[in-house]
């Protein structure tokens, strides 16, 4: 099955770019996801990328996928204090219908 | 109501109590999930229902009992819990267990404390 790893914390200054990294183990993964969890809330899907793509951009968010290294990243441009949250990476193994989640990266944005 | 709702938002119970968590989705989805979120641990999948049929029980202790009376409602019945069961319980739904990205939509969770 899939195993997803990500660092636990990231601290950035407001206005800078944030890059959150994730590695996964299953080379047959079909979809990879980024979810955001704000305090006191459930997870919210931010974006996902299909495995035949290597980049996806959506406004301030850029997802990069390196299939060779099984590495996924989420770049947030012009990070704001409202971006402070926990970001979860998840992967969907080939043949599975339910994604496997990482432990989440706490993003702290300071003035 | 829109999206996925969960009640109650907070619950404190003793180890001998019986309580139930409720989840309702207003998205017309056919798959529903229970997850447990504990501090410093990965999100743990507990149960999955697809078109009201349970398709996954991830070795969850029998003191947790799910119920899915229809595709819009999901319950988690709790009985004789342990303090280590204290966690945030998240409900999610998706269109169905089928090919494609299977985007999951989460509720806000129930914060459970077992004394």
Q: How far is B42 from chain A (nearest CA, A)?
A: 4
- The reported pLDDT for the residue numbered B99 is 77
pLDDT score recorded for residue B39: 84
Interface of B with A in 30-69 (CB under 8 A): 31, 33, 40-43, 45, 48, 56
Check pLDDT > 70 for residue A103. yes
Contacts of A12 (CB under 8 A, 6+ apart): A18, A79, A107, A108, A109, A110
* Interface-testing mutation among A34, A40, A87, A98, with chain B (most B C-beta atoms within 10 A): A98
Measure the N-to-C terminal CA separation of chain A; round to a whole number of Å. 41
Residue A38 scores a pLDDT above 80: yes
Q: How many CA atoms lie within 13 A of B47 on its CB side?
A: 21
Q: What is the pLDDT of residue A37?
A: 96
Q: Got the DSSP string for B61-80?
A: -TTEEEEEEETTEEEEEEES
User: What average pLDDT does range A2-26 have in this prediction?
Assistant: 95
Residues of A with CB under 8 A from a CB of B: 4, 31, 33, 35, 40-45, 48, 50, 88, 92, 97-99, 101-104
Nearest residue, CB atoms, B45 vs list A43, A50, A98: A98
Give the pLDDT confidence score for residue B58 in this predicted structure: 84
**What pLDDT shows up at residue B106?**
97
Q: Does the beta-carbon distance from A43 to B4 stay under 8 Å?
A: no
Whether residue A1 is predicted with pLDDT greater than 80 in this model: the reply is no
Check B102 against A31: CB less than 8 A apart. Answer: yes
- Determine the pLDDT at residue B1: 63
Q: How far is CA A23 from the centre of its chain?
A: 10
- CB count within 10 Å of CB B40 equals 7
| pLDDT, averaged across chain A | 94
Picking from A11-20, A43-52, A88-97, which range would have the lowest pLDDT averaged per residue? A88-97
Please give chain B's pLDDT, 115 residues, in tens.
689 999 999 999 999 899 999 999 999 999 999 999 998 788 999 999 999 999 988 889 999 999 999 999 999 999 999 999 999 999 999 998 887 888 999 999 999 999 9
Whether the CB-CB separation of B76 and B65 falls below 8 Å is answered with: yes
Cis peptide before B8 (omega within 30 of 0): yes
């Amino acid at each position: 099955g899939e195993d997803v790893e990500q660092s636990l914390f990231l601290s950035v200054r407001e206005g800078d770019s944030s890059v959150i990294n994730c590695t996964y183990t299953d080379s047959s993964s079909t979809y990879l996801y980024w979810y955001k969890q704000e305090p006191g809330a459930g997870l919210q899907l931010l974006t996902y990328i299909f495995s035949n793509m290597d980049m996806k951009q959506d406004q301030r968010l850029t997802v990069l996928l390196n299939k060779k290294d099984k590495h996924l990243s989420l770049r947030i441009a012009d990070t704001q204090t409202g971006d402070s949250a926990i970001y979860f990476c998840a992967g969907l193994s080939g043949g599975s219908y339910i994604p496997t989640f990482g432990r989440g990266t706490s993003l702290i944005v300071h003035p | 109501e829109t999206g996925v709702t969960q009640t109650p938002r907070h619950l404190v119970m003793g180890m001998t109590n019986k309580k139930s968590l409720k989840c309702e989705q207003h998205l017309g989805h056919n798959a529903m999930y229970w997850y447990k979120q504990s501090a410093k641990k990965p999100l743990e999948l507990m149960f999955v229902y697809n078109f009201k049929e349970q398709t996954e029980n991830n070795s969850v202790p029998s003191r947790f009992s799910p119920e899915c009376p229809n595709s819009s409602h999901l319950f988690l019945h709790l009985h004789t819990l342990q303090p280590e069961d204290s966690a945030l319980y998240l409900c999610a739904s998706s269109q169905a267990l089928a090919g494609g990205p299977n985007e999951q939509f989460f509720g806000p969770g129930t914060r459970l404390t077992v004394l």
